[in-house]
Amino acid sequence: MSPETILFYVFAFGALVTSGCVVFMRNPLMSALALIVDFFFFAGLYVLLSAHFMAVIQILVYGGAIMVLFMFIIMLLNLKDHELEQVKITSVHQVLAVVAAASFCGMVAFQISGMFDHEAIQKARAEHVQNMKDANDPHLFRPAIQSKVGHLAADFSEDALQKSYHAQLSRIDAGDYTDLDAKFPRDQRVKPKLPPVFKGLDHRGSPLPKLGQSSKATKINFGTAESVSVLLVNRFVIPFELTAILLLAAIVGAVIIAKKRL
Amino acid sequence: MLVPTLEHYLLIAAVIFSIGIFGVLFRRNAITLFMSIELMLNAVNLTFIAFSKYRADLDGHVFSFFIMAVAAAEAAVGLALIIHIFRHFRRVDVDDVSELKF
């Protein structure tokens, strides 16, 4: 059993247990502490999914900012023990809550567990692994987007994932937008432009200084801050700017709601 | 079956999402209710990132980035509401806040 497999089960089990604690603890302070631990387990799962940037953001934003806010409010309200609710079924509405959550869980879990030994998915995976072995030329390497089975890709090892991502980047760089056109058919007129740093150049077009053995000229990797931020200021720049307005509105709204009188 | 694949991540996300649904429907303490919502948002993020890896496509990361921004805004406004509710009722039970119901 590889370390990734063991770590996956540790993180998954931890996430499930702490999620249960969040819901079943009577004291909100205990729930909040369980939720912080839960966010760390989630960050571990993100790292296993090669989402390094998202793992860092998860700990900074969720584990740091949001949970500090929660703790602050819990301490501020300082609820006494008799003011806390009992976590047990006392009304019909709570019975229905149990039924609703259980039936949702059962329905979705049934559908997903059907994927485990689905013939078409296994076949697509085997094909993809074979493709990965065959094509060492990054320009020939077709990523998962071309997969026939409902866009479900093969099982990526870290190496194959980076290879696939680099292949996408080099195709975009070469002016081949077939992957993106397949993904966003309405977007054909707006072609993304990769920043010069991808080619080892600075904004003026002169070569970047090389740092030790690794140079910027090698392609950036999947899931790092660099690759996500390139998307954020390229294709998703308008939602990104709108997020700033959303946060400003939230700040103003929170102040107005929480203030006793304006 | 043992090596984690996409399905394993989806299954965990689904179970945690259901735990979140349970918390939202079952609990009456407004703070715990908000924490259950955060749990649901996190489960969705996990699904996005799992699919993102298995398609070698970074769009999922960007989406969960935006979800985190929305969660931060939601937590700020929601907790301000909780303070307001506490000032009015001297407790944070969501059953008290039923003026707009029906």
Q: Cβ separation of B76 and A153 shorter than 8 Å?
A: no
Whether the CB of A4 is below 8 Å from some CB of chain B: the reply is: yes
In a domain? residue B97: no
Taking CB atoms and an 8 Å limit, are A231 and B62 in contact across chains? yes
Closest CB to B29 among A28, A54, A257: A28
B83: domain CATH number is 1.10.287.3510
Q: Does the A1-80 domain belong in CATH 1.20.120.1200?
A: yes
Give the pLDDT score at B32. 93
pLDDT of residue A260: 79
Counting Cα atoms < 13 Å in the Cβ hemisphere of A27 gives 10
Contact between A151 and A145 (Cβ < 8 Å):
yes
Is B16 inside any structural domain?
A: yes
- CA A171, CA A177: separation in Å to the nearest integer? 7
Q: Structural domain tally of chain B?
A: 1
CB half-sphere exposure, A251, CA atoms < 13 A: 7
What's the CA gap between A208 and A205, in Å, rounded?
A: 9
Q: Is A232 on the interface with B (CB under 8 A)?
A: yes
In a domain, B52, yes or no: yes
pLDDT for residue A227: 85
Summarised one tens digit per residue, pLDDT across range B6-31 is 888 999 999 999 999 999 999 989 99
Range of the domain at B50: 6-92
Q: What is the CA radius of gyration of chain B?
A: 17
A residues 186..215 contacting B (CB < 8 A): none
- pLDDT digit string (tens) for chain A, length 262 residues: 788 889 999 999 999 999 999 999 989 999 999 999 999 999 999 999 989 999 999 999 999 899 999 999 999 988 887 778 777 888 888 899 999 999 999 999 999 888 877 777 777 777 766 666 665 555 555 544 454 444 445 566 777 777 777 777 777 777 677 666 666 665 555 666 666 666 666 666 666 655 444 444 456 788 888 888 888 887 788 999 999 999 999 999 999 998 877 7
Q: Is the pLDDT of residue B89 over 80?
A: yes
pLDDT in tens, B35-75: 999 999 999 999 999 988 887 788 899 999 999 999 999 99
Size of interface A-B (CB pairs under 8 A): 251
The predicted pLDDT at position A214 comes to: 45
Please give the pLDDT value at position A40: 95
- Report which secondary-structure segment, H or E, holds A33: helix A28-48
Q: Using alpha carbons, list the distances in angstroms from residue A145 to A32, A80, A159, A242.
A: 39, 55, 18, 29
* Domain annotation covers residue B28: yes
Quick one: tokens of A213?
Answer: 């053995």
pLDDT score of A215:
43
CB within 8 Å of chain B, chain A residues 66-125: 66, 69-70, 73-74, 76-77, 79, 83-85, 87, 93-94, 96-98, 100-102, 104-105, 108-109, 112-113, 115-116
Cα separation of B86 and A260, whole Å? 12
For residue A78, the model assigns a pLDDT of 85
Cβ atoms within 10 Å of A159's Cβ, excluding its own = 9
Give CATH 1.20.120.1200 domain extents, chain A.
1-80
pTM of the model: 0.87
pLDDT, residue A9, reads 93
What is the pLDDT at residue A54? 94
